[in-house]
Amino acid sequence: MKRVAHNPDEIIAIVNENDGIIGKATRKEAHARGLLHRESYTYLINSKKQVLLHKRLDNHLWDHSSAGHFPVEQDYREGALREFEEELGIKLKSNELNEIAKERRITTKKDRKNDRFFKLFLVKKNIPFKNFKIDKEEVEEIHYFDINKLKKLLSSPGKMAGSAKYLIEKYILKDL
């Protein structure tokens, strides 16, 4: 079966206030009903202190290096590794992921409420552009941003996904 980017019918874990799994639902149902669930976010920073971002195909906004929901049977780290490989075509080793944060965050849009725990991972590694094999059904383009270009992007309304802006400003800028 062909994988569908951002599949609304993907089954994800529903969790309690302590992040313990209490059930499962589709991604669409979790967002429609505001069910607490899990996501992972990963940022790649190279030795030139440039962060890799990808532009999403669905909304044309710059976003995390990789991110997403993950199947109920996976944990945050496994989900982060899978998303990195699916979106960017790079298979990382588990020990290359450095967990730098875990938070609960709620965002609301007119048709959905995204109530989730997330873990944020940082990868410090040099990966040349030619090595990436992006998922063209999900990723429009990728780019390494130095701190000056990143700050310019952050100050440009309508160019970056809200969660990426939040995480970059709170956690990632200090590593650049």
| Domains, the chain, with CATH or none | 11-175 (3.90.79.10)
pLDDT of residue 122: 98
pLDDT of residue 111: 82
Give DSSP secondary structure letters for the chain: ----TT-TT-EEEEE-TTS-EEEEEEHHHHHHHT--EEEEEEEEE-TTS-EEEEEETTT--EE-SEEE--BTT--HHHHHHHHHHHHH-----GGG-EEEEEEEEEEEETTEEEEEEEEEEEEE----GGG----TTTEEEEEEE-HHHHHHHHTSTTSB-HHHHHHIIIIIGGG-
Tens-level pLDDT at each residue, the chain (176 residues):
334 456 788 899 999 999 999 999 999 999 999 999 999 999 999 999 999 999 999 999 999 999 999 999 999 999 999 999 999 999 999 999 999 999 999 999 888 899 999 999 999 999 999 999 999 999 999 999 999 999 999 999 999 999 999 999 999 999 88
pLDDT of residue 1: 32
pLDDT of residue 2: 39
pLDDT of residue 110: 84
